């Protein structure tokens, strides 16, 4: 019987790596990918609690479904924006996207 904490630990590790990727990678697509990683970690948590929690309930899995849907949507729109940006500026290096400083 794998304990609950093991699943949670895995999710925590994935989340941490995802955070680091968001903060550190230069390519914006990898940033988006790291965001997806974080969402996956959250999903693992949800499903684990849906099985092992105090009141085991399939609601966790249903919620995960929605998370996946929204994540897909967000990835698609994000990618579209990135492609547009690349077309206009020629770079997707996140360090060079600093128009917000004005």
Partner 1 sequence: MYMYNLAWIVPLLPLISFVLLVAFGNRLKERAAYLGIFFILGSFVLSTIIFTQKYLQKGEDYLFTFRWFRAGDSDYGIAGGSIFNLGFEVTELNALMLFVVTAISLAVFVYSIGYMRGDERLPVFYSYLSLFAFSMLGLVISPNLFQAFICWELVGATSFLLIGFYFYKESAKVAAKKAFLVTRLADLGILIGILLLFWQVGSFEYRDIFAAVEGGALAPWFITLTAILIFIGAAGKSGQFPFHVWLPDAMEGPTPVSALIHAATMVAAGVYLVARLFPLFAASTVALLVVAIVGAFTAIFAATIALTQNDIKRVLAYSTVSQLGYMMLALGSLGYIAGVFHLFTHAFFKALLFLAAGSVIHAVGTQNIKEMGGIGSQMKLTRAVFLIGALAISGFPLLSGFFSKDQILMAAYGSGNTFLFWMSLLTAVLTAFYMFRLYFLTFGGKVRTAISAHESPRSMTIPMAVLAFFAVFAGYIEFFGFGEWITAGGTIAQEISGPVWIMIGSIAVALLGIGLAWYVYGRDADATLAKAPKPAPLYKLLYNKYYVDELYDTAIVKPYTLFGKFLILFDKYVIEGMVQLAVHISVGLGRFGARLQSGQIQAYMLVTVLGIATLLISLAVRGLFN
Partner 2 sequence: MTGEYIAFFIFAFMSITGAVLVINLTRVIHMVLAMGLTFLGVAGLFLILNAEFLAFVQVLIYAGAITIMMALGVMMTNQHHEKQVRRRWHSFFAFVGAVTIGGTVFYGIYKTPWVCNPSGFDENNILTIGERMFTEYVVPFEIASVLLLVALIGAVLIAKREGDQ
Binders of partner 1 among 70-99, rule CB under 8 A? Answer: 94-95, 97-99
Q: How far is the CB of 55 from partner 1 (least distance, A)?
A: 21
Helix axes 28-52, 59-89, angle to 10 degrees: 180
Binders of partner 2 among 8-37, rule CB under 8 A? Answer: 8-10, 12-21, 23-27, 29-30, 32-34, 36-37
Instruction: Mention every residue, 6+ apart, whose C-beta is less than 8 A from residue 8.
Output: 45, 48
Q: Are 14 and 33 in contact (CB under 8 A)?
A: no
Binders of partner 1 among 29-58, rule CB under 8 A? Answer: 31
**Binding stretches for partner 1 (CB under 8 A):** 19, 22-24, 31, 94-95, 97-102
């Amino acid at each position: 019987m794998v304990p609950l904490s093991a699943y949670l630990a895995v999710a925590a590790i994935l989340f941490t790596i995802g955070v680091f990727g968001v903060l550190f990678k230069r390519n914006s697509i990898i940033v988006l990918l790291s965001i997806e990683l974080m969402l996956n970690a959250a999903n693992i948590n949800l499903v684990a609690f849906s099985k092992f929690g105090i009141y085991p309930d399939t609601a966790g899995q249903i919620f995960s479904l929605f998370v996946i849907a929204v994540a897909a949507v967000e990835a698609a729109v994000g990618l579209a924006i990135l492609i547009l940006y690349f077309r206009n500026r020629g770079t997707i290096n996140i360090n060079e996207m600093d128009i917000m400083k004005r």
